[in-house]
Amino acid sequence: MKKILIANRGEIAVRIIRACNEMGIKAVAVYTDADRHALHVKKADEAYNIGPESVAGYLNVHRLVNLAVETGCDALHPGYGFLSENPLLASICRARRVKFIGPRSEVIRGMGDKTEARRSMIDAGIPVVPGSDGNLTSLQEASSVAERIGYPVMLKATSGGGGRGIRRCDTPEDLQRHFGRVVSEARKAFGTAEVFMEKAIVNPRHIELQVLADHHGNVIHLFERDCSIQRRHQKLVEIAPSPQLDDQTRARLGDYAIRAARAVGYTNAGTVEFLLDQNGEVYFMEMNTRLQVEHTVTEQITGIDIVQEQIRIADEHPLRHRQEDVVRRGFAMQFRINAEDPKNDFLPSFGQVTRYYAPGGPGVRTDGAIYTGYVIPPYYDSLCVKLTVWALNWEELIERSARALRDIGVAGVKTTIPYYQEILNTPGFRQARFDTGFVESHPELLNYSTHCPPQEVAAVIAASIAAHMGL
Ligand code: ADP
Ligand code: ADP
Ligand code: MG
């Protein structure tokens, strides 16, 4: 492979460019008008404007594949979000002889349909969350499934993703109230009104396994990530390995993940998500057939560059690592630093970054897409920097993370940094005892002071004057 088109933007496009750089592969970026000044455009070897439509530009399958062909790319990397789980993109790439850096189209389709994925896993002998056999066609059907599996239940969009289209129902009244809502939400967000039901596991842990599978029948896993720190079903902080998992469960999940990947003929990098209940039972939840936001923590504990492995796999090389060669060392934690105001219901805070100072020092990695003077456009995800911290043990990881969060400086927009500092100060978190109910059960995390030290104020003012004067 000599040249790759990156059908994405933001930090993940930059991340993929870095992998290409190290492999001697040319990286081709695409950008909309709103992204003229984006970092991925500056860092790529070539960059092409794909027009004025801020979001639709990154969703135009034919246009992107045509561009890959016209610019002589051997392959296309979809990143995450946007078209990354779109089976059509994978099949059109194939038809046009552009290697799609991800699994086969049929696998994306099969796993993207959560009820079909559940069926495949049941056939493979993997425990799934108790729930409906397939999609629910009416409220009556939903009610009878709920009676059978017992409340509380989760109504979920069959093609859902990004934490959307999920509602917990504690009573038949809740179900009655939410059913129509989830159906219409599913239709609007995912283009299909299909919904299904699962038993709601009370205060579970979200544990997911990273897998790599090549085109020669080799499948390995790179251990787990604990993504239990979530808000509204969206991940905020991710940790590898989970500090709250015994080795027996870890081994069992590793086996399930490999079995899951084999069962569907998986290739490339993927993630098998599980819920771990309070009794230590594990259940398959879904599989994400793409690179994930939180892949960095796995890279830090294993030393394996997952994006480079994705590229090699797509180029049909056999995996370079055998399962027994994959060793983990220490702990890593990722903070999704979003341009949002936690105190204002995490409302996105777009605008100019008047100052950005990246943290450094031992064990600190940043994957960002902002720079001093950059104006964060309002059309996209609010993720602006991923801070990934590594340390030899959990206690040191907490202290190093706190230090890195003090070290990083983002001014001009509100961010989730102070919120994460509060999480790190919470005894339950420090003691590695947390589940997906953590954020909801700690409303006091929002009580941080917004006091800004005087030197910070001066720096912000100086930076805005400089920006204004075009310095
Ligand atoms: P991860 O498990 O990698 O954190 P997320 O579920 O947070 O994945 O999704 C990663 C990104 O992709 C987020 O920006 C999210 O909003 C977006 N995303 C994921 N799946 C979908 C989907 N089906 N539809 C729209 N956006 C999605
Ligand atoms: P998405 O495709 O949006 O990532 P998931 O099915 O992975 O959706 O669910 C997202 C999150 O919602 C999970 O990480 C978990 O916290 C919560 N969740 C989903 N299903 C259940 C369930 N059956 N019981 C409890 N929590 C659930
Ligand atoms: Mg998920």
**290 catalytic residue (yes or no):** yes
**Residue of the nearest CA to atom 16 in ligand 1?**
162
Task: Name the CA dihedral angle for 402, 403, 405, 406, rounded to a multiple of 10 degrees.
Answer: 120
pLDDT at 453: 61
In tens, the pLDDT along 223-251 reads 999 999 999 999 999 999 999 999 999 99
The rounded Cα 147 to chain-centroid distance in angstroms is: 34
pLDDT at 50: 98
pTM attached to this predicted model: 0.95
Q: Which residues in the chain land under pLDDT 50? A: none
pLDDT at 462: 73
pLDDT at 163: 94
Quick one: which H or E segment has residue 224? Answer: strand 219-231
Helix (H, G, I), strand (E, B), or coil: what is residue 94?
Answer: helix
Which residues have C-beta atoms less than 6 Å from ligand 1? 80-81, 161-163, 234-235, 288, 292-294, 381
Helix (H, G, I), strand (E, B), or coil: what is residue 69?
Answer: helix
**Of 370, 422, 393, 255, the residue nearest 323 (C-alpha):** 255
C-alpha dist (Å) from residue 14 to 40, 85, 130, 252, 274 = 5, 19, 40, 35, 29
pLDDT at 459: 66
Q: Where are the domains of the chain?
A: 3-101, 130-199, 205-446
**Residue of the nearest CA to atom 11 in ligand 2?**
233
Domain 130-199: top CATH class: alpha beta
| Ligand 2 mutation target, pool 158, 285, 293, 439, most atoms within 8 A of CB | 285
pLDDT at 466: 74
Q: Which CATH number fits domain 205-446: 3.40.50.920, 2.30.30.30, 3.30.450.20, 3.30.470.20?
A: 3.30.470.20
In terms of CATH architecture, what is 3-101?
A: 3-Layer(aba) Sandwich (3.40)
- The active-site residue, picked from 167, 290, 336, 400, is 290
